[in-house]
Amino acid sequence: MANLLEQLLTLATAGTVMISSALTAAAPHNDINGLLYLQNRQWRSGAAYIPELREADVKGKVREMRDDAAAALEQMAADCKAETGFHLVSVSGYRSYQTQATIYQRKVKNVGSQKRADEYVARAGASEHQLGLAMDLGWEYKEKGKLRLYSGTSNKFPNSAAGAWATENCWKYGFILRYQEGWEDVTGYKAEEWHFRYVGRENAEKIYANQMPLETYLILLRQEVLMDIVLGAEKE
């Protein structure tokens, strides 16, 4: 990695390449309006950021998402119903900075300390829900012969017909299952088998195929773009 950076600096100093636009492409995690913006415990956004939103036309509550994510969710929910007979249900989409702050403080009060609260809830500015690209999903189920909407997160989700389908097929619609078991040291969050993040079809397909966290994918993507800069400059 050090040699790569040295080559980039040498090329830039010599004026042999224009790398500003390519370097921007190598850092999509910094583009808050892009599909790959990284928001977690280390990378946060401020209270002023509010994306353009609309309500996704799906069953459930808190259905606000960015338009591209909402459209993808609508198609995914429709196909899930067609293939499994069950509806995917919106549980929690967009949350403002202030809403996340309230949720976090409530958890601190309930568990008695910030340290313990951090194990369960993101602090304000650290939740992907603020981006309008994340959705916690539930499912519609039958109870005593009546259809009911599951309205909370649960580890039972991936074992439901709708949940298992979403886990296997979400990438086809541009979503990834963001927090998986075994990824905690990378993502900073415990496994949440109901939390789906929209990243676009091309990115989702690669992430799903390689079964890697978004953080790892972004590192590899950055290295690939930087290497292309070096190799391209050497050919000139």
Enumerate the domain spans of the chain. Answer: 50-94+132-204
pLDDT tens for each residue of 2-14? 565 566 555 555 4
Residues 208-218: b if buried by 16+ CB within 10 A, e if exposed: beeebbbbebb
Q: What is the pLDDT of residue 127?
A: 96
Q: What is the pLDDT of residue 75?
A: 98
Q: What is the pLDDT of residue 17?
A: 45
Q: What is the pLDDT of residue 166?
A: 96
In order of 13, 14, 74, 217, 226, the CA distances from 9 in angstroms are 6, 9, 46, 24, 12
Other residues' Cβ atoms within 10 Å of the Cβ of residue 68: 14
Q: Of 30, 27, 39, 24, nearest to 132 (Cα)?
A: 39
Q: What is the pLDDT of residue 34?
A: 95
Which segments in the chain show pLDDT lower than 70? 1-26, 142-154, 230-236
Residue 192 annotated as catalytic: yes
Q: Among the options 6, 119, 192, 215, which is catalytic?
A: 192
**Topology at the third CATH level for domain 50-94+132-204:** Muramoyl-pentapeptide Carboxypeptidase; domain 2 (3.30.1380)
